[in-house]
Structure 1
Amino acid sequence: MTDTATGGTGAASRNRDSALTRFLRATEIDSRILGMIGALVAIWVGFDIYSGMLRPSDGLFGGTFLTARNIWTLLVQTSSIAVMATGMVLVIVMRHIDLSVGSILAFVAVVIGSLQVFWLPQLGLPIGHPLIWVIALVCALALGGSIGAIHGALIAYAGIPAFIVTLGGLIFWRGASWAVIRGETVAPMDKTFKLIGGGISGTTPGSIGATASWGIAFLICAGIVAGLLYGRKQRRKFEFPLRPVWAETFLAVTGCVLVLGATYVINRYYWPTGVVNRWAEQNNVTVPEEGLDISFGYALPVLIALGVGIVMTFLATKTRFGRYIYATGGNPEAAELAGINTKRLTVWVFALMGTLAGISACISAARLDAASNALGLFDELYTIAAAVIGGTSLAGGLGTIYGAILGALVMQSLQSGMTLLNFESAYKDMVVGGVLVFAVWLDQMYRRRLK
């Protein structure tokens, strides 16, 4: 009887395992992504339950974490790291590392901050001029890209290891940012530039409102369906194996439900009462006694991060540039023998990383409405951690953009939750370090299983 029961249990376990394996194979979902999603859900639910024990609120489980306001803030806080993590994926895929992105962010931020507050007004552009934010944004992209290109040239043509070049960059650009403003804080930023960080300038929020948010959500859903249909058409054209119809349907429905659900939650976060009253007074609108609910909708930095993610995904998966990067990371010697100019490719990848750091500098400075040499401190570690947690292998040749963005959300969720619960800074750093080591260990275990 015991043998029979044991055998039946083992057979049932094998059937369950085979069902999960068949599901993953049919949908082509990376098991590590499922693990990250599971971890993210556990983090969110755990923080909400625990915060509910301390301070009951209107969260999903009675806490303060899973509220519309906190989720909106969490996404805004994630945007800066998420943007840089998309570039770090390509750097690591090529078997390099960039330790300087946080310092580049700080240097670019203090330069464009000084540009807005001091230099442009001295050149005749008064504070509030409509061109100031445009000039600051262009300068940020150009400066960040130039610094990245210098690093890439030193690595590719001077033969200096990326670790040493970017470690030197971490120290050099942090010092340069202090030299620009002598340790002071530059503030405030241009009113239009401030919107890039998602803040409110007067009665103008750095977000798009409920109607536009729903429009973008439905557009993304249409893009998901169109992408699946196009992919199926291409597979049939080149006689590649097709996913089952049920798998395609599952991916489409799941993707759309997640997008629409996130949009619903985001649109539940409303303007503060004081801002609503000022807006109503300026526009001659009567506010009813029960108040007027005006939704923030998606914040501009979140849309910027989403746009960067889409562009970087296309660049990595649909262009020759992206294929060359993965080929070089997989086998540099074979890539050179195949005619790929790996040195020039290295320069371009680091220039792209620097440009993304420039974008993140704009988001960070605009969100804080200030720039200082302390901005972006430890961001290089959070960016690397986000990429590694998202499935990018430190051995090179393997990594996804969407995984890095999800990794950034996991990292920021941990930090935001611990801040919400008043954890000491030392414990937050310990958790981040532990998660990074654990993620690398999981990556090694995954690669061993593939061999």
Structure 2
Amino acid sequence: MEAGRVTDLEVKPGAGKRKVSFQFDMRAYSMIGALIVIWVFFAIMNETFLTPRNLSNLFLQMSVTSVLAIGMVLVIVSGQIDLSIGSLVGLTGGVAAVLNVWFHWSAIPVIIATIILGALIGLWQGWWVAYRAVPAFIVTLGGMLIFRGILTGMTDSQTVAPLTVDFKAIGQGYILPWFGYAMAAVGVLIMAFLTIRQRQARIKYGFEVAGMGLTSVKLIGYTVLIMGFAYVMNQYQGIPIPIIIVIVLALVFTFIAKNTVFGRQVYAIGGNTEAAVLSGINSKKRILFVFVLCNTLAAVAGLILTARVNAATVGAGNMYELDAIAACVIGGTSLMGGIGTIPGALIGGLVMASLDNGMSIMNIDSFWQLIVKGSILIIAVWFDIYSRSQKKLG
């Protein structure tokens, strides 16, 4: 039996039970292990790290990066890159603040207008990449400069604040504790239903499935995590609204990536573009839509950031594109394309946010934070390249 595999499996009734191999994502488990080590280390160094208040702040800090990483996963998986999303966060957040503060728009019209703006910018950038064959690196690098310049000119380098109460709720609001528990319970029930349904479907068609013992352990583990998260958040002020947005987006985009024709085609394009085109996939249209989705999520991130800090500034979103790329790569997304998951990117984002938060509460100088994050990014990319070379040798 190969190392790193689990054998508690069974197959379709009537075919008889047999020992088979079930492979799990070692990269994901290693990142979870690294996250636990980071949390234990900072908890030992500073007793306030694992308090409900700090954990709530930690998840709030990771919300913007997580939203960006969700969109960036699809871009990288398709074999592209987007260096403009940090500036786009600043621009869309600035537009939202201007509409809210200077033109007195209420929150709903501001949200709609900002999201439409993000989608249109994604359409523009995607058109250059997909239909004019300009490398994504160049298009988005130009976009990074253009969007920052528009933001600076539009606001005349001024801070736009304060926002209205209904707008601030997007980034500063919390849901009521009882509602948080209710949402967690519903999430557990849906997870259990989908897991059992998927298992039964695989048995029906003769595919290998994990044994009920292993499945039950996983369901219990996920239940403890979900309800534990709700409990810890409710010990402070409740689950933050930005985290609810992250969870919803993560579920939607995980479904898109794993259960739709579009998602499978994006992975195929990133894995082997020529083969994908020869198989009849319209790669240009898919790449265009990937940029639309990514930039739309950048607009959502811009709304969350602006609402959370109660202002729009010319420096908002600066270098956020690197945090998003780092979160994806740390979470197992390959810069070569074709490999990556939304949950992995969220784990990567949580690792980055944990390092930032832990080093901040320890009063470590900001330059050390940059050094550590940059070093981790290099190591993560090296690990991806090393893993690929080992697979080829194997």
Q: Shorter-chain-normalised TM-score: which range?
A: over 0.9
Distance 2:220 2:390 in 1: 31
> Which residue does 2:83 correspond to in 1?
99
Residues 1:42 and 2:16 are matched in the alignment:
no
1:80 to 61, 64, 89: 64
1:448 aligns with 2:389: yes
Does the Cα contact within 8 Å between 1:144 and 1:358 map onto a contact in 2? yes
Aligned to 2:314: 373
Q: Give the aligned residue type for 1:35.
A: S
Residue 253 in structure 1 maps to residue 220 in structure 2: yes
Residues 194 and 27 (structure 1 numbering): CA distance in 2 closer, same or farther, change over 3 Å? farther
Q: Does the alignment pair 1:314 with 2:288?
A: no
C-alpha distance after superposition, 1:361-384 (max 9, x if no partner): 010000001111111111000000
Aligned residue for 1:3? Answer: none
Cα distance, 1:254 vs structure 2: 0.9
The answer to whether structure 1 residue 118 and structure 2 residue 102 are counterparts is: yes
Task: Identify the residue that residue 12 of structure 2 maps to in structure 1.
Answer: none
How big is the shift at 1:23?
6.0
Write the distance in 2 (CA, Å) between the matches of 1:387 and 1:298.
24
**Aligned residues with identical type, % of pairs:** 40
Matched, 1:227 2:194: yes
Aligned mates of 1:190, 1:320 — CA distance in 2 = 41
Closer, same or farther: CA 401–82 of 1 in aligned 2, 3 Å: same
Partner-residue secondary structure (3-state), 1:340: coil
Answer yes or no: is 1:148 the counterpart of 2:113. Answer: no
TM-score (norm 1): 0.82
- Count of matched residue positions in the alignment of Structure 1 and Structure 2: 381
Find the aligned partners of 2:218 and 2:389 in 1 and give their Cα distance.
Answer: 28
Give the corresponding residue for 1:215. 182
Letter in 1 for 2:123: A
Task: Render the CA deviation track for 1:282-328: whole Å, top value 9, x for unaligned.
Answer: xxxxxxxxxxxxxx211100000000000000110111110110111
Deviations, residues 384-438 of structure 1 (Å, cap 9, x unaligned): 0001111001111010001001111111111111111111111111111011001
2:277 corresponds to which of 332, 336, 350: 336
Q: Does the 8 Å CA contact 2:6/2:23 hold for their aligned counterparts?
A: no
1:108-151 CA distance string (max 9 Å, x none): 111110011112x3xxx6xxxxxx10111011111111111111
Contact residue 5 and residue 22 of structure 2 kept, 8 A: no
Letter of the 1:217 counterpart: A
Distance in 1 separating the partners of 2:223 and 2:118:
35
- 1:340: Cα distance to partner? 1.0
CA RMSD, Structure 1 to Structure 2 (Å): 1.5
| Offset, 1:30 | 0.7
After superposition, where does 1:245-324 map in structure 2 within 5 Å?
245-269=212-236, 296-324=237-265
Q: How much has 1:69 moved relative to structure 2?
A: 0.2
In structure 2, relative to structure 1, the CA distance for the partners of 1:265 and 1:232 (3 Å cut) is same
State the shift of 1:27 in Å.
6.2
Match for residue 343 of structure 2 among 383, 402, 413: 402
Match status 1:439 vs 2:380: yes
Consecutive unaligned residues of structure 1, counting only runs of 5 or more, are 1-14, 52-62, 126-131, 200-205, 270-295
CA distance in 2, matches of 1:241, 1:143: 45
Q: Quick one: which of 55, 73, 93 aligns to 1:89? A: 73
Structure with larger Rg? 1
The C-alpha deviation readout for 1:27-85, integer Å capped at 9, x for no partner, is 6431111111111111111111112xxxxxxxxxxx11010000011111111110110
Contact 1:329 1:396 in 2 (8 A): yes
Q: CA deviation at 1:335?
A: 0.9
Partner of 2:367: 426
Q: Take 1:234 and 1:326, find their aligned partners in 2: how far apart are those partners?
A: 24
Residues 27, 248 of structure 1: 8 Å contact kept:
no
Q: 2: distance between equivalents of 1:37 and 1:416?
A: 17
Structure 1 residue 449, shift from structure 2 partner: 2.6
CA distance in 1, matches of 2:150, 2:251: 33
Please give the alpha-carbon distance, in whole angstroms, between the structure 2 residues aligned to 1:398 and 1:309: 17
Q: CA separation in 2, counterparts of 1:134 and 1:214?
A: 27
The structure-2 alpha-carbon separation of the partners of 1:385 and 1:305, relative to structure 1 and needing over 3 Å to count, comes to same
Amino acid at match of 2:79: R
Q: Which residue identity does 2:266 align to in structure 1?
A: I
Describe the SS at the equivalent of 1:95. Answer: coil
Name the CA shift for 1:26/1:81 in 2 (closer, same or farther; >3 Å): farther
Amino acid at match of 2:145: I
Aligned counterparts, 1:135-214, within 5 A: 135-197=109-171, 199=172, 206-214=173-181
Alpha-carbon spacing, 1:142–1:256, altered in 2? closer, same or farther (3 Å): same
Question: Is the 2:5–2:23 contact (alpha carbons within 8 Å) kept by the matching residues of 1?
Answer: no
Counterpart residue type for residue 336 of structure 2: A
Q: Structure 1: how far apart are the matches of 2:211 and 2:387?
A: 26
Whether contact under 8 Å (1:116, 1:190) holds in the other structure is yes
Shift of 1:219: 1.1
